[in-house]
């Protein structure tokens, strides 16, 4: 994807570029970690990238990108919220509004309001791509976004084991029903390479992501290996892709970004 491609396919929400949702059937599969690393990979391609942390009830993007949770956003002269900046990427998250240790207590209509605000009332400037880190599952937030905004498509993240894949299949069907194009499936936590002997162990099995992509006739975007450095990157606010760009996991994130 290049900056030129982006301007050629301008989104109806002027200046926001392609809106790409990162989704998963269940939590803990690495969706936010993928979002953070993809955002930096796309920024590394020279694209102007924004991230909406649409996981209103469990926002984790600011922590993963090293954005302090105790700095409320400021307003621009046009009365829009100025997004946080981290590693060259613009970010809005519930964690910046409510603090990252206070729960967001929101009923359905408020959820819609916040999502609309995150997209239309933030001073994004001009973007080439806006990534939306969705909460897991197929609830209100996913439906609101799919119905209210012209999503270019969704990337679906799964771990390789069967139970996860069954849930992914359900999520994919929901996205299809609301006419969101599936850009592809990413298999995360695919295999662990022993640092001492180099042997690869497929802790959560392997190949499931490819299988589900084939069976649903959507692209398979790649496998991200299981790597403790990915966890450290998320915990320290410096995604792995920044400090270990040659690692297999970073290369895998770059490959997914290149396929979008
Ligand atoms: P989700 O957004 O799907 O709930 P997260 O991105 O928060 O999942 O990831 C859950 C946990 O798994 C985090 O501790 C994260 O660091 C870890 N994790 C994600 N991807 C990998 C990976 N490829 N290798 C090792 N740990 C990972």
Tell me the per-residue pLDDT of 224-240, one tens digit each, with 9 for 90 and over: 999 999 999 999 999 99
Q: Choose which residue among 21, 231, 238, 250 to substitute to test ligand 1 binding: the one with the highest number of ligand atoms within 8 A of its C-beta.
A: 231
Which residues of the chain fall below pLDDT 50? 2-12
Please, what sign has the CA dihedral across residues 72, 77, 82, 88?
negative
Is 229 touching ligand 1 by the criterion CB < 6 Å?
Answer: no
Residue 247 sits at φ, ψ, to 5 deg, of -65, 155
Start-end of H helices in 17-139: 31-44, 61-64, 94-98, 108-120
Is 31 touching ligand 1 by the criterion CB < 6 Å?
Answer: yes
Please report the atom of ligand 1 found closest to the CA of residue 190: 23
> Hey, what long-range contacts does 167-171 have (CB within 8 A, 24 or more apart)?
167/25, 167/26, 168/24, 168/25, 168/212, 169/25, 169/212, 169/216, 170/25, 170/138, 171/23, 171/24, 171/25, 171/137, 171/138
Residue 132 sits at φ, ψ, to 5 deg, of -115, 115
Asked if 185 and 222 touch (Cβ cutoff 8 Å), the reply is: no
Whole-number pLDDT of residue 3: 47
Whole-number pLDDT of residue 8: 42
Residue whose CA lies nearest to ligand 1 atom number 18: 30
Whole-number pLDDT of residue 194: 76
Give residue 218 CA to ligand 1 midpoint distance, Å.
Answer: 23
Is 55 touching ligand 1 by the criterion CB < 6 Å?
Answer: no
Q: In this prediction, does ipTM exceed 0.95?
A: yes
Q: Tell me which residue has tokens 């059937």.
A: 25
Tell which CATH classification among 3.40.50.300, 3.40.50.2300, 3.40.50.1100, 3.40.190.10 matches the domain 6-259: 3.40.50.300
Give me the chain's average pLDDT, please: 86
- What the block records as the tokens of 137 is 């599952």
The DSSP code for 207 is S
How far is 73 from 128, CA to CA, in rounded Å? 22
Q: Tell me which residue has tokens 């695919």.
A: 190
Whole-number pLDDT of residue 240: 96
Is 27 touching ligand 1 by the criterion CB < 6 Å?
Answer: yes
Give residue 226 CA to ligand 1 midpoint distance, Å.
Answer: 9
Q: Choose which residue among 142, 202, 234 to substitute to test ligand 1 binding: the one with the highest number of ligand atoms within 8 A of its C-beta.
A: 234
How far is 222 from 136, CA to CA, in rounded Å? 20
Give residue 75 CA to ligand 1 midpoint distance, Å.
Answer: 32
Residue whose CA lies nearest to ligand 1 atom number 16: 231
Is 252 touching ligand 1 by the criterion CB < 6 Å?
Answer: no
How far is 196 from 185, CA to CA, in rounded Å? 31
Q: Give the tens place of pLDDT for each residue, 22-64.
A: 998 888 999 999 999 999 999 999 999 999 999 888 899 999 9
């Amino acid at each position: 994807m290049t900056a030129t491609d982006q301007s050629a396919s301008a989104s109806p929400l002027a200046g926001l570029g392609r809106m790409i949702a990162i989704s998963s059937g269940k939590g803990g599969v690495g969706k936010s970690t993928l979002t953070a690393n993809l955002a930096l990979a796309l920024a590394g391609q020279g694209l102007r990238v924004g991230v909406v942390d649409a996981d209103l009830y469990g926002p984790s993007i600011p922590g993963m990108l090293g954005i302090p949770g105790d700095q409320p956003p400021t307003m621009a002269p046009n009365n829009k919220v100025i997004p946080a900046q981290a590693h060259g990427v613009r970010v809005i998250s519930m964690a910046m509004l409510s603090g990252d240790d206070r729960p967001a207590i929101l009923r359905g209509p408020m959820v819609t309001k916040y999502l609309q605000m995150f997209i239309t009332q933030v001073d994004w400037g001009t973007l080439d791509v806006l990534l939306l880190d969705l909460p897991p599952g197929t609830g209100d937030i996913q439906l609101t976004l799919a119905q209210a905004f012209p999503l270019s498509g969704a990337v679906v993240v799964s771990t390789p084991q069967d139970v996860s894949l069954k849930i992914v299949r359900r999520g994919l069907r929901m996205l299809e029903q609301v006419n969101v194009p599936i850009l592809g499936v990413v298999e995360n936590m695919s295999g662990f390479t022993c640092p001492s002997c180099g042997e690869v162990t497929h802790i959560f099995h392997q190949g499931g992501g490819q299988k589900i992509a084939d069976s649903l006739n959507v692209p398979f975007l790649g496998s991200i290996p299981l790597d403790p450095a990915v966890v450290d990157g998320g915990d320290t606010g410096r995604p792995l892709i920044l400090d270990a760009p040659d690692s297999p996991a970073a290369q895998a994130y770059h490959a997914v970004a290149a396929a979008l």
